[in-house]
Amino acid sequence: DAKTTQPNSMESNEEEPVHLPCNHSTISGTDYIHWYRQLPSQGPEYVIHGLTSNVNNRMASLAIAEDRKSSTLILHRATLRDAAVYYCILRRSGGSNYKLTFGKGTLLTVNP
């Protein structure tokens, strides 16, 4: 399975945008990029996913590099409730696509 690399931690101020990077240099053409986040002592929560084009939803935006070797999750205005571990996950169509393979993710701290 293709691997992802994320910074261990990042810090942001409340009401400022946050850009969370993810490198996936061995991504294949059929790999979807998914993002989940996990608040302290809770189960993970789906954030967004995409294949090639940039994606927006009510929670965040996903910017995917043209060569797809990296992507960035964008939180437009961070709030204290956005403090969580953010996971970037690749899911390949076919084969063992049923499972989510979580790495260690990026711990986002939001300062008031």
Partner 1 sequence: DGGITQSPKYLFRKEGQNVTLSCEQNLNHDAMYWYRQDPGQGLRLIYYSQIVNDFQKGDIAEGYSVSREKKESFPLTVTSAQKNPTAFYLCASSRTANQISYEQYFGPGTRLTVT
Q: Which residues bind partner 1 (CB under 8 A)?
A: 32, 34, 41-46, 49, 87, 91-93, 97-105
> Both tokens of residue 16?
């400022």
> Least separation, in Å, of the C-beta of 16 and partner 1?
27
**CA gap 59, 51 in Å, rounded:** 18
Q: How far is the CB of 51 from partner 1 (least distance, A)?
A: 9
Q: How far is the CB of 97 from partner 1 (least distance, A)?
A: 5
Nearer CB in complex with partner 1: 41/112? 41
Alpha-carbon distance values, 1 to 9, 66, 97, 101 (Å) = 24, 21, 10, 9
